[in-house]
Amino acid sequence: MSWLEVPADHPFGLHNLPYGSFRTGGESRFRVGVAVGDHVLDVGTVAADLLPARAALFDDGDLDRLLAAGPAAWHHVRAAVTGWLADDGVRDVVERALHPLALVELRMPFSVADFVDFYASEHHATNIGRMFRPDSEPLTPNWKHLPIGYHGRAGTVVVSGTSVIRPCGQRRTPEGEVVFGPSTRLDLEAEVGFVVGAGSTIGSPVPRAAFADHVFGVCLVNDWSARDLQAWEYVPLGPFLGKSFATSVSPWVVPLAALSAARGTPPTREPRPLPYLDDTDDDEQWGLDLTMQVRLNGHLVSSPPFRTMYWTAAQQLAHLTANGACLRPGDLFASGTVSGPEPGQRGSLIELSWGGKEPIELPDGTIRSFLEDGDEVVITATAPGPDGTIVGFGEVRGTVAPAREQP
């Protein structure tokens, strides 16, 4: 119970408490905030009074210091915030640090160190394989043996609300001519992102069991993709300029600790993967029951189910460090496009329009195969919380701006 009235079914209920970086109107300085109901709690200001031992973690106004501080600090701060909201005795101090959510400006909540993007939906990988390589098996021979991924571009990860400029690049036309210009097949990818807090030592792989010691929380990701650039450039080294122009993330990072009720068993893997990836006999696996929503210009076009993902984030973490690569605070790795088995569960337009062969009609009568200038994409998600509650992730929103003139 809390002195703060928050409806039990609020996506930012007392059991969620996601972290972000905010400022109120007219302020120059950003502060660390925890979303609770329709408010943002200025956690640093309250910590200065009520949790002085941890108050310095919030001095920079972003999550960087908290991420680096590791799991003991994360749990200490979360327990403290939960306690403040339950304790009538500190109500005055805490209430003064609450700001209406609708009136704050949010920014990128942490400094992205490295960005990695995976490809973990069997349905998405199968659909893409059918379209990009129609004459071969849709899944490559390695797909069920390792979580395929690529290293992306941390510097172009942007927060929700940032416009995405249509990229220019090389593509090959259907007639076989190679040209340079604005992408004509700009797409969205609905994904879930995992934010690394505690780093690791180079040379020392991070096993699945240490997942929660390193990963702080979860956000939503839109991995904007220029399919025409991608199709021309990706052989043999994988995605490059077709992906690196922009990746949008939601402004709130939901702590792993809020997702205990959302954990579940991932799909059965056949063949069984190698031991460092085989979670069959783990006490607790890291399947997560998020349901996502993709809206284009306000219309719901897809509801991807994250629980259908073939590889879990714990397996992805084990794999991306299996060669001794180290983790740093602020590393972000994304799941890969989330697509379920049903057509209405596909997390990209290239799948929803089947490569442009079957354009989708929106309820307002407009037709889309890929994104047009001015289009707005909003991705949201919820997961089950404890005792029948809901854990909301907020949204990742972006509007397509026209391509810039080339020099």
Binding stretches for Mn ion (CB under 5 A)? 117, 189, 223
Beta carbon nearer to Mn ion, 121 or 200: 121
* Residue 337: CB minimum distance to Mn ion, A: 5
Contact 144, 269 (CB under 8 A): yes
* Residue 11: CB minimum distance to Mn ion, A: 25
Q: How far, in Å, CA of 211 to CA of 318, rounded?
A: 8
* Residue 5: CB minimum distance to Mn ion, A: 40
Give which of 344, 296, 291 is closest to 187, Cα–Cα: 296
* Residue 147: CB minimum distance to Mn ion, A: 13
Given 124, 145, 299, 319, which residue is catalytic?
124
Is 124 known to be catalytic?
Answer: yes
Beta carbon nearer to Mn ion, 61 or 152: 152
The residues, any chain, with a CB within 8 Å of residue 302's CB and separated by 6 or more, are: 190, 292, 293, 294, 344, 345, 346, 347, 352
* Residue 91: CB minimum distance to Mn ion, A: 44
Beta carbon nearer to Mn ion, 62 or 117: 117
Residue with the CB atom nearest Mn ion in the bound state: 223
Beta carbon nearer to Mn ion, 224 or 252: 224
Q: How far, in Å, CA of 340 to CA of 337, rounded?
A: 10
Distance of CA 46 to the CA centre of its chain: 28
The residues, any chain, with a CB within 8 Å of residue 27's CB and separated by 6 or more, are: none
Report helix, strand or coil for 367. strand
Give φ, ψ of 94 to 5 degrees: -75, -40
DSSP letter string, 123-159: HHHHHHHHHH-TTS-SS-TTTTTS--EEE--GGGEEE
Report helix, strand or coil for 100. strand
Beta carbon nearer to Mn ion, 347 or 385: 347
Active site residues: 124
